[in-house]
Amino acid sequence: MEYKSILGERGRAADEQVLYDLRISELLEDILGRERDEFLRSLYLEPLNNEEIAVFRLNVFRDLMRNEVYNAVENFVEKIRESIDYIELEKEAYEQHKLGLHLDAALSYIEAVESFYNDLKVLGIRSQGLLNFLNYLQSIVESRSFRLMKERAYEAKKARDEIKIRVKIIGNRIKVRRYDEGKDLSAIIKNLFSRFKESEVEEVKHIRVTSEMSHIHAAILEGAFKFYRKEYEILKRFMEDFQKIVDDGVMRFAKEVKFYLTYVRYMKKVMQPEYLFTIPNFTCDGSINVKNFYNLLLLRSGRVVHNDISTDGVKRVFVITGMNSGGKTTFAISFGQLAYLSTLGLPVPATEASLPFFTSIMTAFPAREDPRESMSRLEQDITKALKILKQANSTTLVIANELFSTTTSEEGFQLARLFLSELNRKRAYCLFVTFIPGVASIDFTISLVAMPSPEDPMKPSYKILPGSPPSEYMAVRIAAKHRLLYNHLREILR
């Protein structure tokens, strides 16, 4: 039976400018933490083209957001990792050590596959991804090759357990001989030191150390095998007959499923009553209804405000105006991040999220300062706008921040009107952050406003709400407070 990827399929490489503008790379640092797996990182940089695959992944998350399923998958991955570690150690080990390491790899693998298969059967999983893997495990467990490997592994383990020796160290010489049931030195030592024991303590379990085996260990084993030829031959034949231990599909699953486990761990770290995640629902009618979404990066500072965004899909262009430093750009970036996460097939930071599946996300932010750039800022803005208009379609999301802001208000308004009109004609979605209030009055747009704090109108609330653009901005209010308006200056100059 062929293994079907738990990822469904891979996506396409994300646009570097979008990653920068939406601060996705910073977000990945928080999600991945100390994880430096380049394969895993690449999965978070590949938005999907196919809505069905996104739904496929989200259904896997539905299962994994149940603790018992998550724990079962995590334990399985750890056991497979243990088996692979034994195999890696075997490559560098002395010949005498290879036999035991190979057997340990097999025993870990067998236990992992059987226990995970039995767990999945009773956990009531529903996602097609995990059901596919359950069927794949069943085909392995019921196969003749697996049953034979299990039988021979237990036979080899029994043979290894029979090997008992005594080691005598005399100066720089070591003598090895068969264990002869003589005095139990362990009991003698335990009895000798029992007088120092003050109370009951937890017994420390034996931990097998495999990475530091030396030529001395190898020589001791070589001596032991001379006394236990039959047991040695059983171990040797097992390694020769079962050279491949871990199934390719199982290994691939253990590698790919980390995509899910890593994100679930991140969600558990973030989630509190006021910071929730939800499985997004992809709409067919073009509507958007996202409740209480927030910026994950702002959790570092603790200054997080929840916001909503909605449309029935008839109007798809949101114009965001309002007070300076009122959270307009953060609002746009936060929704852009949420949309990006949804295209990876990931739960999103909100209490409710219904939105289209965006096949492309594009950004137009102020250009970074570059003394080598020959074009003016306005020329760069126009170039970005033309590129977006050429590629945009009805499943495109555009996040535009202060586009055309370096020219006059009238010219900026006309350029914005032309740009947004074309996006509207293409039925694309856009969040357009601007200081030009007239843009919000264009008939096909939805006006959103950064609101001041109810307690102090001079301070922002960081809430973005539907409404008309303010008659005056914070800069005007500040100037009035300090008597720096035009009329004030005229009085001073008289």
The structure tokens 């690449």 sit at 42
Angle at alpha carbon of residue 13, lines to 12 and 15, rounded to 5°: 125
For CATH 3.40.50.300, list the domain ranges present in the chain.
276-493
Orientation angle between helical segments 67-92 and 248-256, nearest 10 degrees: 120
Percent of the chain having pLDDT more than 90?
A: 65
In the prediction, which pLDDT does 379 show? 86
Give 412-470 pLDDT, tens digit per residue.
999 999 999 999 999 999 999 998 999 999 999 999 999 988 888 888 899 999 998 87
Q: Is pLDDT above 70 for 483?
A: no
Residue 211: which pLDDT band, with cuts at 50, 70 and 90? very low
**3 state DSSP class of 313:** coil
Q: What is the DSSP string of 367-418?
A: PPP-TT--S-HHHHHHHHHHHHHHH--TTEEEEEESTTTTS-HHHHHHHHHH
- The shares of helix, strand and coil residues in the chain, as percent rounded to the nearest 5, are 50, 15, 35
Written as one letter, the residue type at 286 is: G
pLDDT higher at 100 or 251? 251
Residue 40: which pLDDT band, with cuts at 50, 70 and 90? very high
Q: Which pairing describes strands 352-355 and 173-178: parallel, antiparallel, or unpaired?
A: unpaired
Q: How many angstroms separate the CA atoms of 272 and 413, rounded?
A: 42
Q: Is pLDDT above 50 for 205?
A: no
Burial of 90 (0-12, 13-18, 19+ CB in 10 A): buried
In the prediction, which pLDDT does 206 show? 39
Compute the average pLDDT of residues 275-293: 97
Give 41-67 pLDDT, tens digit per residue.
999 999 999 999 999 999 999 999 999
In the prediction, which pLDDT does 484 show? 63
In the prediction, which pLDDT does 287 show? 98
The neighbour count for residue 492, using CB atoms within 10 Å, is 9
Q: How many angstroms separate the CA atoms of 308 and 290, rounded?
A: 6
Q: Is pLDDT above 60 for 219?
A: no
Cβ neighbours of residue 458 closer than 8 Å, sequence gap 6 or more: 452, 474, 477, 478, 481
CA proximity to 242, closest of 92, 96, 81, 107: 107
Give 1-30 pLDDT, tens digit per residue.
899 999 999 999 999 999 999 999 999 999
Give 375-388 pLDDT, tens digit per residue.
788 888 899 999 99
Q: Is pLDDT above 70 for 71?
A: yes
Q: How many angstroms separate the CA atoms of 5 and 403, rounded?
A: 42
**What sign does the CA torsion over 206, 208, 209, 215 have?**
positive
Please state, rounded to an integer, the average pLDDT across all residues of the chain: 87
Q: According to the CATH classification, is domain 276-493 in 3.40.50.300?
A: yes
Burial of 371 (0-12, 13-18, 19+ CB in 10 A): exposed
Q: Is pLDDT above 80 for 204?
A: no
The neighbour count for residue 154, using CB atoms within 10 Å, is 14
In the prediction, which pLDDT does 185 show? 64
Q: How many angstroms separate the CA atoms of 155 and 234, rounded?
A: 8
Written as one letter, the residue type at 104 is: D
Give 312-333 pLDDT, tens digit per residue.
999 999 999 998 888 999 999 9
Q: For the whole model, what pTM was predicted?
A: 0.86
334: which 2 tokens?
């936060």
CA proximity to 234, closest of 100, 36, 119, 405: 100
Compute the average pLDDT of residues 106-118: 98
The structure tokens 């137009």 sit at 364
The structure tokens 């998550």 sit at 70
429: which 2 tokens?
């979605």
